Chains A and B, each alone.
Chain A
Amino acid sequence: MSELFQYDFFIRSLAGAVFAAITCGLTGTYIVSRRMVFVSGGITHASFGGIGIGYFLGINPVMGAAVFGVLVALGMERFSYRDMVRQDSLIAMLWSLGMAVGVIFIYITPGYAPNLLTYLFGSILTITTTDLLLLGGLSLISILIFILFYNTILMVSFDEGFAETRSMPVKGIKSMMIILVALTIVFNIRIVGIIMVLALLTVPQAIANLFTSNYKHMLIYSVLSGMAGTLSGLAASWYLNIPSGATIVFTLVLMFSMAKLIKSVTG
Chain B
Amino acid sequence: MTKLLEVNDVSAGYHREPVIEKACFSVSQDDFIGIIGPNGGGKTTLLKVMLGLHKPFSGMVKWFLEDNPQSARQKIGYLPQINFFDIRFPISVFDVVRSGLASPDNLRGRFSRKQNHHVEEVLRLLGMSRLKNKSMGMLSGGEKQRVFLGRAIVSNPDILFLDEPGTYVDHEFESEMYDMLKNLNQHMAIVLVSHDLGMISSYIKSIICVNRVVHYHASNIISNEQLTTYNCPIQLITHGDVPHTVLNKHTQR
Contact = CB atoms under 8 A, between A and B. Distances in A.
Interface string B203-225: 00000000000000000000000
B135 A158 contact: no
Contacts of A35: 86
Contact of A154 (B51, B88, B91): B91
A215 B91 contact: yes
A167 B74 contact: yes
Nearest to A150: B109
Interface residues of B, number: 36
B250 interface: no
Interface residues of A, number: 28
A81 to B, nearest CB: 12
A169 B80 contact: no
A166 B96 contact: no
Nearest to B98: A151
Given A33-B90, A154-B91, A162 B80 contact: yes
A167 B73 contact: yes
Contacts of B98: 151
Interface string B88-128: 11111001101110111001110100000000000000000
B15 interface: yes
Given A151-B95, A165-B51, A213-B137, A33 B109 contact: no
Contact of A158 (B15, B70, B91, B109): B91
Contacts of B92: 214
Contacts of A215: 90-91, 95
Contacts of B76: 165
Interface string A143-177: 00000111110110111011111111100000000
B103 A161 contact: no
Contacts of A165: 51-53, 73, 76, 78
A218 B99 contact: no
A209 B104 CA distance: 30
Contacts, number: 90
A152 B109 CA distance: 6
A3 interface: no
B53 A164 contact: yes
B135 A213 contact: yes
Contacts of A126: none
Interface of A is mostly: helix
A163 B98 CA distance: 12
A218 B95 CA distance: 15
Contacts of A213: 88, 90, 135, 137-138
A212 interface: yes
A166 B73 contact: yes
A214 B90 CA distance: 5
A8 interface: no
A20 B80 CA distance: 38
Interface of A: 33, 35, 83, 148-152, 154-155, 157-159, 161-169, 209, 212-215, 218
22 contacts: A33-B89, A35-B86, A83-B14, A83-B15, A151-B108, A151-B109, A152-B102, A154-B99, A158-B86, A159-B84, A159-B85, A159-B99, A162-B78, A165-B51, A165-B52, A165-B53, A166-B73, A166-B103, A167-B70, A167-B103, A213-B137, A214-B92
Given A169-B104, A213-B88, 15 more contacts: A149-B107, A151-B95, A152-B108, A152-B109, A154-B99, A155-B95, A158-B85, A159-B80, A165-B52, A166-B73, A167-B103, A209-B90, A213-B135, A214-B90, A214-B135
